[in-house]
Chains A and B, each alone.
Chain A
Amino acid sequence: MAYTPHTDPDRAAMLAAIGVAGIDDLFDDVPPAVRAAAWDLPAPMVEQEVRAELRRLANRNRIPDVSFLGYGAYRHLVPSVVSEVVGRAEFSTAYTPYQPEVSQGTLQSIYEFQSLICELTGMEVATASHYDGATATAEAALMACRLTRRERVAVSNAVHPEVRRVLATYCSGPGIEVVEVPADLAAGGTGQTDPAAAAAVLDDSFACLIAQQPNAFGVLEPMAELGQAAHAAGAQLVAVVEPTSLAVLEPPGSYGADIVTAEGQPLGIPMSFGGPWVGLMAARMGAVRQMPGRLVGATRDAAGRKGYVLTLQAREQHIRREKAASNICTNQALCALAATAYLTAVGPAGLREVAELSMAQARHAAGALRRAGLAERRFTAPYVAEVAVTVPDAERRHAVLAAEGVVAGAPLWRDYPELTDTLLLAATELTSDTDIERLVAALEASR
């Protein structure tokens, strides 16, 4: 009991007040047939031992000296002020703001988050947060099914495989069919989802088309045309986006997206082996009552003071139970706070700097590799901050480099067998010129 305050006299006093002889009397209600057998768990540890054990495990990870691995998780600067804000116990040790009078800090910061996500995406309403970008996208698909009363979903296979995996799982329960629209992955191909291919799949049985901008290969998709293909079939366009790229890319609201989702990890959240991160979801006001998840709204108290509350709760499980729009309860509020603090810390100029430097370094890496004769760009369409390149004998060389502490991007053939020898290189503002030199030298040496 590392953290309980009770002394033995305290316990004795409480037992006496309750009127029982011992603590075991309070567990009489466990039927004897199913009382726990003895368990085999380790002995307790004091703080210095806990630290040593956790340090042991942290040190067993080898953080690469140089990494071009992105593919859904990105190494960005987490500004010190962001860590400071999320480290405040008044935020981190509160819970869902059921009592708004004493939760204005959490509620207002969520309202600010919703506002920022609307501004970034060009949409009208954003939720308080989801578990991650993949579950947000899966819930967007279910939402589109509710909105259109249709039971099929089309998804480009250039949507990140992790997102498609989660989508498939979520759809399997209620029996929603997921149909993939193949992207142009041929050698010398664009790497894009062809709107004609989407139109060929879509008909009036489809609730939505899901496409990603930039897509899983970092390539820009013809989102407006994909949206037209979806709308022509009466389906919605679900746009999966990368938030830092929205500093330079047109917002999905202006190319006709009906629902926008994103993984918010790049916004000031450490990679932490996959989580906690935060899923973003935004939509049009017309769809708000079918949105899953929490929403915060502004209102007044009796004295006219402005304040914030959880609102439109008639969509939610604690009110509607089996008729709720989603079962989500605990979400990722603290990560949403990190994103709010991050977007505030970098501002419009900083977000643009992040996006531009990431793009410049991706081009730097691709250009340097091409000129050194080490790699060729795999796709013809323009890319943002990730670039797919083919490298002869990539599997072996990727492993050789990793052993030297250089991660040469994501091996795409594992998810796309047709993309043999294709590595996806990601750059961020933390990618230095020397990182790129090191990658070039290491690939050179591994020939």
Chain B
Amino acid sequence: MSVVDERVDASGRGAAFASPEPGEALTIVEPLVFDHSRPGRRAVRFPVASDAARAAGKGEPALPASVQRQEAPRLPEVSELELLRHFTRLSQLNIAIETAFYPLGSCTMKYNPKVNEWAARLTGFTDSHPLDPDELAQGSLELQWLLAELLREISGFAAVSLQPAAGAHGELTGMLMTRAFHRSNGEGEQRTKVLVPDSSHGTNPATATMVGYSVVTIPSNERGGIDLGALRAALGSDTAALMITNPSTLGIFEDQIDQVVAAVREAGAIAYMDGANLNAILGRFRPGEAGFDVMHFNLHKTFSTPHGGGGPGAGPVGVSERLAPFLPRPLPVLREGDADAVRANAWAGRETPGARFGLDWDRPQSIGKVRSMFGNFGMHLRAYAYIRANGGDGLRGVSDDAVLAANYLRVRLADAFDLPYDRVCKHEVVFSGRRQKRQHGVTTLDMAKAILDHGIHPPTIYFPLIVEEALMIEPTETESLETLDRFVDVMHDIARRAADEPEALRAAPVTTPVGRLDEAGAARRPDLRHRFGPDPVPESTEGG
């Protein structure tokens, strides 16, 4: 394919742009925002200070010359229309839930309801300053208190903090509480190890390290569960915690979970449940009730807050009684009024006269703060709206339908791909592309790229690590049967083409704005920012 004079990108969606450098074989789908810039062009303008204001400010210290910036930052100079066209064109280079099926396993790419976005834009919320006196922030505080109550009931935990900003941040919070708990029992020095199954998400071991623990990996058994014998052998007086994802990253519910929790507790360790997959078990299993000490929720997964191209999310943590004193502070609390009445009224959409909410800072055993202010409030309110729209029965139905869809794909695709753990799954199913790789030299990566040419976002690939050539499919409950069936057809077609025309799959994708990108080159020669012509500042050498 000749590229030098190819002026239109393959998708036809992006603007064509040939490099202005003569002889450079380069096609750019959409120029950088800096390339749209012309000196003196303006979008948003601001008023200048009034004469009265300047006069009133006389006698106040001016900015010393020594701290003043000499050269203005080279921000782009564009009109509003150019700005919008640039970002609109960029947006059109993305696949997103609202443009296409997005069965990215472990990520729960379900519909993000619009009414939640409407709510998040209410000025009563957007203009709420986190340090406003409590009397001015009663709505924000009540909402957080109510959401924590709902999450408590959903998970069976004694208490909930909304402060963590994402799942991994919730993990960090949980592990810091684990540390604080053991320290308070005089076992801080002795309990140094965190056990994680080999199927765990990378954030679990990374979190354990961040709080100074060493990581011990526990193998899975042949059925995809945790190897109970290996777990028991690893547990001891040096174990701080087990971090277990349930349902696991194989999409499998740990059917010995009661024994797992019992063994961990017997060893005096903390039982941490990674709740990223809670969306599969709403109304079926409540981790707090089952004896877990701590769990993070991913509001951006289970409770449908938008993923934003990689955040913001929110990762509240639920804890058992024994960990509750260590929760981050402050906690939203009901200062005046009867909790039952406030809940009953709120569930009926009513105000409770005289109810007053506040923030409880007086928690001497707290691990402190893990984030400034009180967490990603804008995500809290979306999750609250989602829970209220569904209600208890609806939430149970969410999991039922998510599990139904995943099992449907499991049986429909079992003829085309290897299923390393052939049993009922929960919200996702993990296939292996090893057959295609061995027989036809087509990797899971090749198949994922071929899926792109069907306008579908591929499943998660090469995770969990214990499945060779993993293809982790999470359809979610918001995809129609027609969409699922079309996906089945696409996957069958790809399996067929892996056998018949493997070269074509290795060349995929061909319809996307860019083809496969040179990732190794990107890492070898990092180009991490735009250069404005010759760089006046010599770059420090990379290394370190």
Contact = CB atoms under 8 A, between A and B. Distances in A.
Interface stretch (A112-120, A180-188, A195-203, A204-212): A112-120
A47 B286 CA distance: 28
Contact of B26 (A104, A304, A366): A304
B477 A40 contact: no
A26 B27 contact: no
A312 B528 CA distance: 10
Contact of A115 (B291, B388, B518, B529): B529
B377 A273 contact: yes
A350 B40 CA distance: 11
B136 interface: yes
Given A95-B309, A301-B517, A19 B411 contact: yes
Given A49-B349, A306-B27, A429 B46 contact: yes
B184 to A, nearest CB: 13
A118 B537 CA distance: 12
A134 B523 contact: no
B502 interface: no
Contact of A271 (B46, B127, B205, B308): B127
A71 B154 CA distance: 36
Contacts of B408: 14, 17-18
Contacts of A42: 346-347, 388, 391-392
A114 B166 CA distance: 21
Contact of A5 (B285, B312, B478): B478
A166 interface: yes
Interface centre among A17, A60, A335 (most CB of B within 10 A): A60
Q: Assign chain A's interface to a size class.
A: 35 or more
Contacts of B102: 94-95
Interface in B72-124: 72-78, 80, 83-84, 86-88, 90-99, 102, 104, 107, 109-113, 115, 117-124
B526 A94 contact: no
Contact of A162 (B111, B372, B512): B372
A21 interface: no
A95 B286 contact: no
A324 B45 contact: no
- Closest A-B pairs by Cβ, 6 of them: A274-B373, A58-B124, A363-B57, A41-B392, A334-B308, A173-B211
A249 B308 contact: no
25 contacts: A1-B477, A23-B403, A41-B153, A45-B389, A64-B136, A71-B131, A90-B91, A90-B98, A91-B94, A98-B460, A104-B14, A118-B529, A169-B369, A173-B172, A174-B212, A220-B63, A275-B374, A297-B526, A302-B518, A335-B308, A347-B43, A347-B75, A350-B43, A352-B72, A436-B53
Contacts of A251: 69, 73
Given A39-B392, A359-B63, 5 more contacts: A5-B479, A44-B393, A93-B307, A105-B94, A356-B48
Given A101-B515, A433-B53, A347 B77 contact: yes
Interface stretch (B228-236, B252-260, B316-324, B489-497): B252-260
Interface centre among A40, A251, A271, A287 (most CB of B within 10 A): A271
Interface in B390-408: 390-395, 397-398, 400-401, 403-405, 407-408
A299 B81 CA distance: 28
A102 B92 CA distance: 9
A234 interface: no
Given A286-B542, A382-B64, A332 B44 contact: no
A278 B369 CA distance: 17
Contacts of A312: 523, 526
Contacts, number: 778
B289 A34 contact: yes
Given A59-B124, A288-B542, A272 B377 contact: yes
B165 A135 contact: yes
Contact of A334 (B88, B124, B311): B311
B20 to A, nearest CB: 13
B530 A115 contact: yes
Nearest to B32: A112
B174 to A, nearest CB: 11
B58 interface: yes
A26 B202 contact: no
B138 interface: yes
A423 interface: no
A344 B73 CA distance: 12
A128 to B, nearest CB: 7
Interface centre among B92, B165, B407 (most CB of A within 10 A): B165
Interface in A3-57: 3-6, 10-11, 13-15, 17-20, 23, 25-31, 33-37, 39-47, 49-57
A407 B153 CA distance: 37
Interface string A252-268: 01000000000100000
A4 B175 CA distance: 35
B203 interface: yes
Given A169-B369, A322-B215, A306 B168 contact: no
B310 A72 contact: no
A104 B122 contact: no
A138 to B, nearest CB: 9
B210 to A, nearest CB: 5
B137 A61 contact: yes
B61 interface: yes
B285 A60 contact: no
A382 B283 contact: no
A172 interface: yes
Contact of A67 (B126, B129, B528): B129
Contact of B46 (A45, A77, A114, A318): A77
Contacts of B386: 2
Contacts of A348: 72-75, 77
A311 B201 CA distance: 20
A280 to B, nearest CB: 13
B59 interface: yes
Contacts of B117: 87
A321 B208 CA distance: 10
A321 B156 CA distance: 30
Contacts of B136: 61-64, 402, 407
Given A147-B544, A288-B542, A334-B308, A220 B206 contact: no
Contacts of B97: 89, 93-94
Interface in B129-178: 129-133, 135-140, 142-143, 150, 153-154, 156, 165-169, 171-172, 175-176
A28 B424 CA distance: 9
Given A112-B33, A162-B373, A351-B73, A131 B166 contact: yes
Interface centre among A5, A37, A410 (most CB of B within 10 A): A5
Contacts of A332: 165, 308, 311-312
A4 B398 contact: yes
Contacts of A410: 131
